[in-house]
A and B are shown apart, each in its own frame.
Chain A
Amino acid sequence: MRPLINIAVLVIAFTACRKESRIDIPYQGDKIVLNSLIQPDSLIYFRITRSKPVKEYQNLQFPEIKGADITLLENGKRLPAPVWKVINGKGYYVSQAFAQAGKQYAVRVAYDGLTSVLAADSTPGHPEISDAFAQKTANRVRFTLRDNAAERNYYRIRVYNADTVNGIVTPMKRDTVKFRLDPSFNNNFFDVIGNTYYSEVLLKDDRISGKEVQFVLQTNKQVTASYMMVEVSNLTESAYKYLDNTFAQRLENRLEFSLQPVDIYSNVTNGYGIIAGVNARVLSFAVE
């Protein structure tokens, strides 16, 4: 969709005019929203909320659903029910054991007055990354990725500035580094010609399948931090589709539905949201 929008810029350059529309937007009714990106070697955090009408003039927060009945299965075997916990002011249902790579997780959520929902996905293995490098005052970050030829792989790449806290390199996650990827890898011309930098890049392994490839990321600002981190996540197909479909809304508060009405991918039956496996690896390094 992004190429279309970039080209359409020229057409819209004929002084576009924007105003609130009077078209009435119907509401499909309350549904359970189930969200979790399952990271192996970590607890599983389920965020369960309720949907709302699209038009809103007072409060953009979504109501949490507390007291839901949650059933969690790992490879078909029932695990202890996740427990309610408030983290950073928001409520989550947290599993009582760590997730593992290569497992299938299924979740069922029931709540009085709402239709029960079901979702399932697996957890991928971690990506093989190495040799991260950046130089101060330059605006290039490099690392090497070895793609597994035996699988169809999907990746998410992010870069953070970092600092040491008690001798441990810690990412400054609110200070995401915006960058562009060499277009030969993600097949997107517009990353170069559009002069757009992203806080995350998603790609399939179409062009790098089975290869060891040095990625060169160009940052939009000169590297000034003493430490940096490159995070590469292996994604399941569900995770890739969801993150790709929601890119504009998650990161740019934009929704393009008029010219290309394609709904966001969801694997939650009878509800909204996503249950998907991700497996992130991080390279922390000192900037030279």
Chain B
Amino acid sequence: MSLFGRFLLGMLLISITVQASEWDWRTRVSVVVTDQPLETVCVILEKQYGIHFSYSRNIVDLTPSVNVNVQNKPLKKALEEIFSPFNIHFARIGDQIVLTVRNTPTYTVSGYVQDARSGEKLIGATVYSPTLQIGTTTNQFGFFSITLPHDSAGLFFSYIGYETGRLPVRKSEKAPVIIPLQPRSSLPEIVVVDSSRQHAEHLNFNRLNVSAAAIKSMPRLLGEADVMRTIVALPGVSGGLEGAGALYVRGGSPDQNLILLDGTPIFNVSHLFGIFSVFNPDIVKNADFYKGAFPARYGGRLSSIVDISLKDGDMQQYHGEAAIGLIAAKAMVEGPIKKGQTSFLVSARRSHAGTLNDIILNTSAENTDSKAYVYFYDANLKVNHIFSPRDRLYLSAYVGQDKLSVRWEEKQENTGSNTGYYGDSRSNFLWGNYTSTLRWNHVFGPKMFANVTGNYSQYYFSTDYKYNYKPVNSPDTAVLSGKYYSRIQNAVGKIDFEYRPQPKHTIKFGTGAITHIFTPGVSVFQDNGKGQPAVDTTYGDVSTIGQELLLYGEDEWHALHNLWLNLGIHASSFLVDGRFYSSIQPRLGARYQLPRRWVLKGSYTHMNQYLHLLSNNGANLPTDLWVPSSGSVKPMFSRQGSFGISKTSRYGMYALSLETYYKTMDHVIEYKGEAASFTGAGRDWDEIVDVGKGRSYGGELMLEKKKGTTRGWIGYTLAWSDRTFPSVNNGKTFPYNYDRRHDLEIVITQKLGKHWELSANWEYASGRPLTLPTASYEGIGEPSPYDPPENDPILDHLGERNKYRTAPMHRLDVSATYTKKKKLWTKSWTFSLYNAYNQQNPFYYSIDTDRQKQERYLAQVSILPILPSVTYAIKF
């Protein structure tokens, strides 16, 4: 060092010594800040007391917001109080306080959060350290893992409807801990959102959670609460035709929704042509709904994920519920097989005689007696066994079926001539799902959790008929019989890992294989009355097997104190009929917290789908056929970007969310002409469909009140969705069938005293697209003018596809539930009005011709008028 350099250093040291004399560790300081970055505290100390801080921004993070109220405390004590929760070490060097990160040993706590009474695992429970302001949530199995400094204060656990629990400071422990939370017994059905839950929301990118309480508090159609109808009431989701419960999410079609029941895909989610979903609301524990920002662990569909978890069964006591309504009766029992170790849950639901049965179909034929009746049932079984603190096994099964039977008899007897005949026809239509799921949870260590899943799912539609014809005086009998069935089967083997190396990272990865077996439609007919071998009319007896492999990885990363990222990638491949398709899909999500609880969020995801649904344009029917991608129909593919902003009020009472999205869909299909009869989709199904593109974009606004006796939300959707196919509508782009421009949903629930809960749901949606005839003209049916028909046929030429709009629809549903707790059980009465003011909403349109008046006009047909219902339920 030069002489000049030494001089400067000497001057500097002298200066430091002089400065240092201005404060010491006993200097009493006062600092008050509210919701300000930690850095502000340093600035105040520097300004007021001349204390300089030195630190590297890359190492020491002073951005977290803090509330500090230090009054006249010695400096050292004050700094300890301020910095220690953030693991920041301070030391005096000369005139400055140098900040560094304390290399504190950490410990990891992992375990399960569960209901204290029943042992039911709680999904999405918040685990939170208020001093460190870090936290996490439990996964689908109620498991959590969090790493903390050794000397940090305890953890808090909270969940909707439960008292907050606390875990004191403890030494590192490898075995999972059990955190029991006490239900708030006085308010069993109220949704209460703890303030710490706001923090947890940062971890959930675009996930909308639908709790069992929310499902049950919605107004009911014909007395049945329904998870799918609750989801339909959310912004960005449309229910399609009135009465049908299909999901149309952000301009996508119903086949683009992956609906999981305890991790097993369900292909047809409705009973009675869409009136009810197949999920018994009494055993639904939780439903998560994603319409964008799809986590990488999900794949195989373009538009949405509905992940429904059923209750596991009470580990301690027997409980049950039973209810009877206008349409269905149901019962559920749960309890321990071995206390604290094995539990079971059984539920069953069936429609009953009354409203549904004995629907008499009108018939124009004389001397015939036609009857039709329809019913549905579903049943669930779940067994949950704890082998050890680290190993749990879940076995669940579902069976559900709808059956429509049609019978007609005809008789023509001529007593005088001893002639006539007798005819008897019986037909059955059956459709439904079978699923079975085996899941094994294993905790490898405090930071590593794994779940192994094997499941099987089948959807089938089948019909059979028998027709006997017997003339009175002739041997010319006929015994016709036939059957038709279509089926899709799915077998999944999958392993998922969850690794939490640090509080800031939750890494999920996994791999799986799916075997799809498609049997689009087989029919066989026979006439056994001819006394000769029947012509072989077996048709469409073709099964196709598709093999799908998937691999994914994602990191939920708390990158900065106010920035959360979800970075993931989902890769999959599909092998079918010798063709190989593959796809790598990035999944990116981000949340950035601004001051005053404003949050910016954005996402960009790719999704791929190897399955297609041959569906009629207008309705979602059980006859729709699942088919795999083929040579000419490639896998569907979508890109979706979304951006939004949200705000939560100070105590979490209100939440406001505004989100915009843009989505493209490639290789969507549409029938080129008239949809084929479901019995006629043979091997060449891909020749009768056109392959095109879809696009949708729009904005969604949701204002929610989350606390108090009055709760609910207002959801508004402004959306556009269109399709383009080379040979449909002359290649011109046209609006998608369910492209509704405006959709407003208002949902309110009101608690009145201890016994009553009222709820109302009002929906307004602008008209859906409609194709109208734009000219009429004379038709022909005969080659010769000398054989004129009774009336000249009048035909209509249809204009451009979906160029016009139906009338808008609006409807109010209301419901009132009276609950009374007895000594051993709770009873409830639910009174509902569907379409309370009897609005006649358009279902379909037709051109009516009145030959007598020489008139033709457009007619609107409405269904589902005001429908009252009552349900009685008990719970013990």
Contact = CB atoms under 8 A, between A and B. Distances in A.
Interface in A2-35: 2-4, 7-23, 25-29, 31, 33, 35
Interface stretch (B310-318, B615-623, B644-652, B744-752): B615-623
B772 interface: yes
Contact of A35 (B776, B778, B797, B858): B778
Interface stretch (A67-75, A76-84, A108-116, A184-192): A184-192
B854 A51 contact: no
Contact of A184 (B482, B621, B787): B482
How would you classify the secondary structure of chain A's contact residues: helix, strand, loop or mixed? loop
Given A87-B785, A257-B798, A21 B359 contact: no
B416 to A, nearest CB: 11
A230 interface: no
B774 A189 contact: no
Contacts of A256: 846
Interface residues of A, number: 111
Contacts of A245: 674
Contact of B793 (A213, A249, A266): A249
A207 B849 contact: no
Given A20-B858, A249-B779, A216 B478 contact: yes
Interface stretch (B185-193, B251-259, B469-477): B469-477
A245 B778 CA distance: 14
A18 B530 CA distance: 46
B425 interface: yes
Contact of A188 (B677, B842, B867): B677
A255 B525 contact: no
A149 B473 CA distance: 38
A83 to B, nearest CB: 14
Interface in A221-272: 221-222, 241, 243-246, 249-251, 253-266, 272
A47 interface: yes
A253 B526 CA distance: 34
Contact of B794 (A213, A221, A249, A262): A249
B856 A54 contact: yes
Contacts of B526: 184
Contacts of A183: 480, 482, 525
Interface string A33-60: 1011111001001010101111111111
A17 B862 contact: yes
Contacts of A280: 783
Chain B interface size, under 10 / 10 to 19 / 20 to 34 / 35 or more? 35 or more
Interface in B352-389: 359, 361, 363, 365-366, 368, 370, 372, 374
B5 interface: no
A255 B846 contact: yes
A88 B408 contact: no
Given A10-B273, A51-B797, A39 B783 contact: yes
Nearest to B787: A173
B223 to A, nearest CB: 15
A59 B425 CA distance: 43
B783 A211 contact: no
Contacts of B857: 20-21, 55, 57
A36 B785 CA distance: 10
A249 B796 contact: yes
Most buried by B among A13, A174, A245: A13
Given A38-B783, A189-B484, 8 more contacts: A13-B359, A19-B859, A35-B778, A57-B855, A88-B785, A182-B525, A273-B779, A273-B780
Interface of B: 243, 273, 359, 361, 363, 365-366, 368, 370, 372, 374, 404, 406, 408, 412, 414, 417, 419-421, 425, 427, 463, 465, 467, 469, 471, 473-474, 476, 478, 480, 482, 484, 523, 525-527, 530, 534-535, 537, 539, 616-619, 621, 623, 671, 673-675, 677-680, 770-799, 801-802, 804-807, 840, 842-849, 851, 853-865, 867
3 cross-chain pairs, A with B, having the tightest CB-CB distances, nearest first:
A259-B618, A184-B525, A261-B771
Interface of A: 1-4, 7-23, 25-29, 31, 33, 35-39, 42, 45, 47, 49, 51-62, 87-88, 90, 92, 135-140, 173-174, 182-185, 187-189, 192-195, 197, 206-208, 211, 213-214, 216, 218, 220-222, 241, 243-246, 249-251, 253-266, 272-274, 278, 280
